[in-house]
A and B are shown apart, each in its own frame.
Chain A
Amino acid sequence: MPNMSMTKNPMPSQEPEVRNKNFKEVTLGYTKEMAIDEAGRCLNCKHKPCVTGCPVQIDIPAFIAKVAEGDFEAAYQVINKSSSLPAVCGRVCPQETQCESKCVRGIKGEPVAIGRLERFVADYHNANCTDKAVKPESNGHKVAVIGSGPSGLACASDLAKKGYEVTIFEALHLAGGVLAYGIPEFRLPKDIVQKEVDGLKDLGVKIETNVVIGKTISIDELMNEYGFESVFIGSGAGLPRFMRIPGENLNGVYSANEFLTRINLMKAYKEDSTTPIKHPEKTVVVGGGNVAMDAARCAKRLGSDVTIVYRRSMEELPARAEEVEHAIEEGIKFELLTNPLEVVGEDGWVTSVHCQKMELSEPDESGRRRPVAIEGAFTDIDCDCMIMSIGTSPNPLIKDTTEGLDTESFGGITADEFGATSKPGVYAGGDAVTGAATVILAMGAGKKAASAIDEYLNK
């Protein structure tokens, strides 16, 4: 008999007023008892609607059934067949618009907490399993993966499991891509990322940090001189966008990428860090996506009063519901229907943001209602730090140095649904193709490309 509770087992979390002053993980994870109880809510539907909502098609009812039996390691093995980063995805996937949105239990009441269960299972495995992955026998083929973010890790993992000799090239000094430099410690602890990366090394994947493909080595050199038969480009989102308004180069104005990289990758939040960061008193974050929430919550933890400025209303906020809720609980203010016009400064430093008040009119091509200016309605917000989190545009380094690699008008690499680019043997996926999206979509693209590469090299 399934557990017919209408609501999910709540996630144990640090209290908002405590956690908004530290960088430790906000959510603490289910206990075994909570996990078994929650797993009991799954109806084990034959047609498995949840699986259709998962970009990597994890057999969700099967792993949940193992959790209900208390066989957590078996549950992990089910997930591991489809996902290479369960501890990461259980934390950062937008389950509410994916698997959980298709859950039958969600029709009346809340869906099964699939994400929380995935995280529980992955954490259980990491804490209890001491068996290391074993490097499979080599099939003699060499594949290069550019970038060690979610798409690169997923692609490398699938290829390595099939016996390919995989080398990942990472531009920064540390592997993980956005998982390392972007998503903050309190949402995704870095030791979890490190574990996933170590797991890949156990599979025989080589990771070369400090190599910028397109600068240190070109893709053509990888293929012609280094003997890689195929290349996967998972180089990520690229250059941060700014608003092109006056004053945005004043001191105290950061891109979210820079602010988050200083804090996460360079550990500027630690007292003894040698990487400088401004410890602001009043911060304005511009934008409404997950990155904006991350930046806002980081600024809060540095001791700042934080206001998110967004030009549409709460309903159109693109960030995950959970991130917005967490931000509100932590005391972050929202100045909605507001659009910055000018960054005002004194002696080279930002002092306030002059904004236009907006209202919503008809829906635009994105289906969201278009914000339009309310004539004569302005507002000024004082701040000593401003963080621009309004998206990115693709990095030109690879496209400019690779013969025969086509790109879209917005700069993203042209690739078909299996990741094949215009250049034979070269595949691409993740934000480098789509522009900024989610970890799980990037992983899905990496996995698809891995099977396409496998097919290509076995032709």
Chain B
Amino acid sequence: MFKIVSKKELNPTVTFMSVEAPLVAKKAKAGQFIIFRAKEDSERIPLTIAGYDREKGTVDIIFQIVGAGTEVLNSLNEGENIQDFVGPLGNPTEIEGLKKVAVVGGGVGCAIAYPVAKALHEQGCEVTSIVGFRNKDLVILEDEFKAVSSDYILMSDDGSVGEKGVVTQPLDKLLADGTEFDEVIAIGPLIMMKFVVATTKKYNVKTVVSMNPIMVDGTGMCGGCRLTVGGKTKFACVDGPDFDGFEVDFDEAMARGSVYKPFETKAREETCNLLKKEVQ
């Protein structure tokens, strides 16, 4: 059992939790993930680690309520326990030697982009953070990003906060103006990452994306998280979750991501029919 040390609603559909998991905290690095099971009989769900405190032995997660599993997780309160919490799984984001990086985050993906930006900042890398949300109510981690970025660009679909538009617009502009990034790291919805890659490809800037496919065990046993990368089948849990964005077959990944959508919709409605909250 893993105790929830603190819980915060970041916006109506996104929750922050700090969880007591000393073994995971001891090893965790930016880019890795955990798998949780909220209660006995809940689903196993992967979540990328949003932060950790090795001394306190806590691991932070930030999740969007999308299905039954995250709904049940969100029903747990400070002081209560999560049934299972295993990790850190997957490979950390490779940041060694990077001097100037654009970190692009979309929606709840910013929860994962932030620890990467922070780790880069801590090693003296110049970070440009470009983050996008649907509207001002959904913005998360603004102060945190600002603290680790030399440049922070906030975009919103409806213009209710920051600039109106999508993250690829400022990215394209920076690249067109001749800004030389060692690398672009994009974390967010598949469709966003696909378009980030389409943008950076024009300028041939190495782009790393963090994939978050459906998983069961997270240790290489089930193969449910497979993706096509460079024409080969890769398992996100042991080969990733970060991959070279130029090589990823995003269309296939999007199709695979929707495999249980009807089931999830139904399961979530059954789990909590009160909710008619907006989901990205």
Contact = CB atoms under 8 A, between A and B. Distances in A.
Contact of B219 (A212, A267, A276): A212
Interface in B240-280: 252, 255-256, 258-260, 263-264, 267, 271
A261 B233 contact: no
Interface string A387-400: 00000000111000
A217 interface: yes
A224 interface: no
Nearest to A392: B221
Interface string B39-58: 00111100000000000000
B223 A274 contact: no
B189 interface: no
Interface string B68-92: 1100100000000001111111000
Contacts of A238: 220-221
Contact of B223 (A173, A211, A240): A240
A216 B88 contact: yes
B221 A257 contact: yes
Interface of A: prevailing SS: loop
Contacts of B260: 276
A220 B277 CA distance: 47
Nearest to A257: B222
Contact of A211 (B41, B86, B224, B235): B86
Nearest to A260: B222
B194 interface: no
Given A212-B86, A217-B23, A238-B220, A276 B263 contact: yes
Nearest to A210: B86
Nearest to A213: B219
Contacts of B88: 215-216
A46 interface: no
Contacts of B24: 216
Interface in B217-240: 217, 219-224, 226-228, 233, 235, 238
Given A173-B83, A173-B84, A274-B267, A258 B27 contact: no
B134 interface: no
Contact of B89 (A215, A251, A267, A278): A215
B217 to A, nearest CB: 6
Contacts, number: 113
A216 B43 contact: no
B216 interface: yes
A201 B42 CA distance: 25
B37 interface: yes
A266 B255 contact: no
Contacts of B44: 173, 266, 275
The interface centre, meaning the residue of B221, B224, B233, B258 with most chain A CB atoms within 10 A of its CB, is: B221
A249 B219 contact: no
Contact of B216 (A242, A252, A258, A274): A258
Contacts of B256: 249, 251, 348
A267 B271 CA distance: 18
A181 B227 CA distance: 23
A274 B226 contact: no
A181 B72 CA distance: 23
Interface size class of B (residues with CB under 8 A): 35 or more
B219 A261 contact: no
A239 interface: yes
Interface of B: prevailing SS: mixed
Contacts of B252: 249, 348
Given A257-B221, A262-B216, A275-B43, A239 B235 contact: yes
B23 A216 contact: yes
Nearest to A248: B233
A313 interface: no
Contact of A172 (B217, B227, B259, B271): B217
Interface size class of A (residues with CB under 8 A): 35 or more
The interface centre, meaning the residue of A172, A210, A254, A258 with most chain B CB atoms within 10 A of its CB, is: A210
Contacts of A173: 37, 44, 83-84, 86
A216 B27 contact: yes
B255 A216 contact: no
Given A216-B23, A216-B87, A249-B228, A397 B41 contact: no
B221 A395 contact: yes
A242 B222 contact: no
B84 A209 contact: yes
Contact of A274 (B41, B84, B85, B217): B41
Nearest to B88: A215
Nearest to A396: B238
A249 B84 CA distance: 29
A236 B221 CA distance: 9
A397 B238 contact: yes
Contacts of B89: 212, 215
A427 B27 CA distance: 25
A329 to B, nearest CB: 29
Contacts of B219: 171, 212, 215, 395, 397
A348 B42 contact: no
A47 interface: no
Given A239-B220, A240-B223, A249-B256, A210 B85 contact: yes
B216 A266 contact: yes
B23 A396 contact: no
A238 B43 CA distance: 21
B56 to A, nearest CB: 18
A255 B72 CA distance: 28
A397 B223 CA distance: 15
Interface in A196-255: 209-212, 215-217, 236, 238-240, 242, 244, 248-252, 254-255
A379 interface: no
B23 A211 contact: yes
14 contacts: A210-B85, A238-B221, A240-B221, A248-B233, A249-B228, A250-B255, A251-B258, A252-B259, A254-B223, A258-B222, A266-B216, A276-B260, A276-B263, A395-B220
Task: Kindly list the 8 A-B residue pairs having the minimum CB-CB distance in the complex, ordered from nearest.
Answer: A348-B255, A258-B222, A255-B223, A276-B263, A210-B86, A276-B260, A240-B223, A173-B84
Interface of B: 23-24, 27, 37, 41-44, 68-69, 72, 83-89, 216-217, 219-224, 226-228, 233, 235, 238, 252, 255-256, 258-260, 263-264, 267, 271
